[in-house]
Amino acid sequence: MNTKCKKKIWGIGAGVCIVLVVAFISWYYPFSPFSIHQSFTYHPVPETHNSKTYEEKMGQFKAAYEKDLDKDVESDHHNPTVNRTQFILPVFEQEWLIGTDSKTMDKDKLDRMLLDVQQARNTLLHLVVSEGDYSREQRVHLVDSLNNFLNLEESIRFIKNGKYFSRSDLQTMLGNLQGDFWAVFDHYTTVFYDVSHK
């Protein structure tokens, strides 16, 4: 075998090896710069709290909230918490948070999620600054809710900016983020909303 042939075989072999290494990196690290699609399929784990799923708790809260909102619209004394909750609630109704079907996550979805959380946090900040005659206890719960939203933002940014998280890392981190969203929803609805809308 002549030298030209050997170089050609070595060149093809090296090219195949590079392609295989890049393919492995892009598969194993879905958000890496080498990944073509930069997306990851998240498989949620069904969980219940007090024998209710998140979807059931969301439905139960929304049914009660719609009645509160109707009463507030008809009232002469509007409750800022009831009024503003309609702008906060959509952040908890994201498709990936509800149900057990697999969901594809990419950087665009994470960007939109981050923007939604920031807007909800700004709505809460508006309540702190310019609306509502809140008691000391209510303000404490409102500030806690604000901090919860800030923590969500940090978690989303951490996942979005991580280039070398493996598939198992992303599965764990998105599972934790989903749990964090549920906890923030639970705190907002059963603590702050309950004590401040009455």
pLDDT in tens, 105-162: 999 999 999 999 999 999 999 888 776 678 889 889 999 999 999 999 999 999 999 8
Mean pLDDT of 3-31: 70
Determine the distance from the C-alpha atom of residue 22 to the mean position of all C-alpha atoms in its chain, rounded to a whole number.
Answer: 29
* Chain length of the chain: 198
Please say whether the beta carbons of 128 and 1 come within 8 A. Answer: no
What per-residue confidence (pLDDT) applies to 14? Answer: 66
What pLDDT shows up at residue 35? 79
Separation between Cα atoms, residue 182 and residue 185, nearest integer Å: 5
Structure tokens at 10: 């070595």
Average pLDDT score over the chain = 86
CB atoms within 10 A of CB 117: 23
183 vs 192: CA distance, rounded Å:
13
> What pLDDT was estimated at residue 48?
65
Does residue 90 carry a pLDDT above 80? yes
| More reliable by pLDDT, 5 or 129 | 129
Average pLDDT over residues 69-93: 90
| pTM, to two decimals | 0.86
Closest CA to 94 of 49, 156, 36: 156
pLDDT at 1 over 60: no
